[in-house]
């Protein structure tokens, strides 16, 4: 593909994917607020919507045989999410506070999925076993999001029930939310269907043109995935994260951040590994996953403190991302 054609196509594809993802995420979040969903569940749904460009780009790269680009998008997006959705947001909002129970539940799921996905990519865990293990982690988590507070009130002592309610960011007056008319549901569907189609179209165009330009300019494909596609496709997540942080919705913000990373790993690497080889035994891949795990743990430790995460913590997270980028460039 000629450079003169590839550059404008890349820009146009990027614009289509990002605008569609932002529209999808904002519409889904508004509906969730209207029907009174818990903050943690809202974070999961918003992450699913905003993650579409990242996931589609990673899958398209795998289909094209560009495994290094695909893994670069997955890991690079996750590192960028921690820096942008938590680090940049706390710089704007001043502080992020949330119940420690939220950190335990959300962080525990995020770390376990990252470790399992790393095992699959590094060839330590078979793909099928990885899918089963992740299902065992996510199934009770999703049950907690959907029915956790009600189950806790019936089966556990009052103290545990209160802690679980705080962890999931349950809204007051659960079950007494505004009645949502059928027309609102159809409006959501009417927005979601074309938005998803445009996200797929835009993400496919981005991968095609980015790989073409990288080959033309002799740029390593790994850098294209980690430093170009990963941050750009994560812009919808950064935007929605900042919006949640400025609205003082810490539980939804942390849920979206960690669930976004979980979805990237599951849909962008582990599930595709059932049909396409994603195994990479390179030192670079091992370092990338190690960096991601360390950065995730550091973020959780910051959030678990009684004072929460402050602006200095945000600078640390952004600094870790910058260092990650420098290391990526230096080793190619």
Domains recognised in the chain with CATH numbers: 3-330 (1.20.1420.30)
> In this structure, what DSSP letter does residue 97 have?
-
Q: Quick one: tokens of 252? A: 């939804």
DSSP H helical segments within 156-220, as ranges?
158-168, 182-217
Count other Cβ atoms within 10 Å, centred on residue 197: 11
pLDDT, tens digit (0-9, with 9 covering 90-100), for 170-211: 443 334 444 456 666 677 667 777 887 888 888 888 888 988
CA 287 to chain CA mean position, Å = 20
Give the residue ranges of the chain where pLDDT is below 70. 29-44, 46-47, 147-185, 188-189
How much is the CA Rg of the chain, to the nearest whole Å?
Answer: 19
pTM exceeds 0.75, yes or no: yes
Q: Determine contact, residues 26/188, Cβ cutoff 8 Å.
A: no
* CB-facing half-sphere around the CA of 58: CA atoms within 13 A: 32
Alpha-carbon span 189 to 93, nearest angstrom: 32
DSSP H helical segments within 272-310, as ranges?
283-304
Question: Which of 328, 227, 330 is closest to 284 using CA atoms?
Answer: 328
Structure confidence at residue 310 (pLDDT): 95
> In this structure, what DSSP letter does residue 31 have?
H
Q: Quick one: tokens of 99? A: 């119940």
Alpha-carbon span 213 to 9, nearest angstrom: 11
Whole-number Cα distances in Å, 187 to 38, 42, 265, 314: 22, 18, 30, 37
- φ, ψ of residue 309 in degrees (nearest 5): -105, 130
Structure confidence at residue 182 (pLDDT): 63
Structure confidence at residue 149 (pLDDT): 60
Question: Which of 49, 50, 20, 45 is closest to 34 using CA atoms?
Answer: 45
Alpha-carbon span 195 to 260, nearest angstrom: 18
What is the chain's length?
A: 332
Structure confidence at residue 178 (pLDDT): 44
Alpha-carbon span 59 to 275, nearest angstrom: 11
> In this structure, what DSSP letter does residue 125 have?
S
Alpha-carbon span 253 to 103, nearest angstrom: 11
């Amino acid at each position: 593909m000629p450079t003169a054609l590839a550059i404008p196509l890349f820009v146009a594809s990027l614009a289509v994917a990002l605008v569609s993802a932002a529209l999808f995420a904002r519409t889904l979040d508004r509906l969730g607020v209207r029907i009174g969903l818990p903050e943690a569940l809202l974070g999961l749904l918003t992450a699913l919507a905003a993650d579409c460009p990242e996931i589609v780009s990673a899958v398209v790269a795998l289909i094209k045989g560009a495994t290094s680009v695909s893994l670069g998008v997955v890991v690079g997006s996750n590192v960028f999410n921690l820096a942008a959705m938590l680090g940049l947001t706390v710089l704007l909002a001043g502080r992020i506070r949330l119940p420690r129970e939220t950190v335990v539940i959300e962080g525990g799921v995020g770390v376990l999925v990252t470790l399992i996905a790393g095992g699959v990519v590094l060839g330590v865990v078979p793909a099928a076993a990885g899918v089963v293990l992740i299902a065992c982690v996510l199934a009770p988590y999703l049950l907690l999001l959907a029915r956790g507070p009600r189950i806790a009130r019936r089966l556990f002592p009052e103290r545990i029930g209160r802690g679980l309610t705080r962890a999931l960011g349950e809204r007051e007056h659960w079950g007494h939310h505004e009645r949502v008319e059928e027309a609102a549901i159809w409006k959501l569907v009417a927005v979601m269907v074309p938005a998803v189609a445009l996200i797929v179209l835009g993400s496919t165009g981005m991968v095609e043109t980015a790989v073409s330009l990288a080959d033309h300019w002799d740029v390593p494909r790994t850098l294209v995935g980690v430093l170009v596609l990963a941050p750009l496709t994560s812009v919808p997540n950064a935007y929605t994260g900042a919006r949640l942080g400025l609205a003082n919705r810490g539980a939804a913000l942390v849920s979206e951040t960690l669930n976004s990373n979980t979805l990237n790993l599951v849909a962008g690497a582990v599930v595709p590994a059932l049909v396409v080889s994603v195994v990479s035994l390179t030192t670079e891949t091992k370092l990338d996953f190690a960096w991601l795990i360390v950065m995730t743990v550091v973020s959780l430790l910051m959030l678990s403190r009684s004072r929460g995460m402050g602006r200095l913590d945000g600078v640390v997270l952004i600094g870790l991302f910058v260092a990650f980028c420098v290391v990526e460039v230096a080793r190619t």
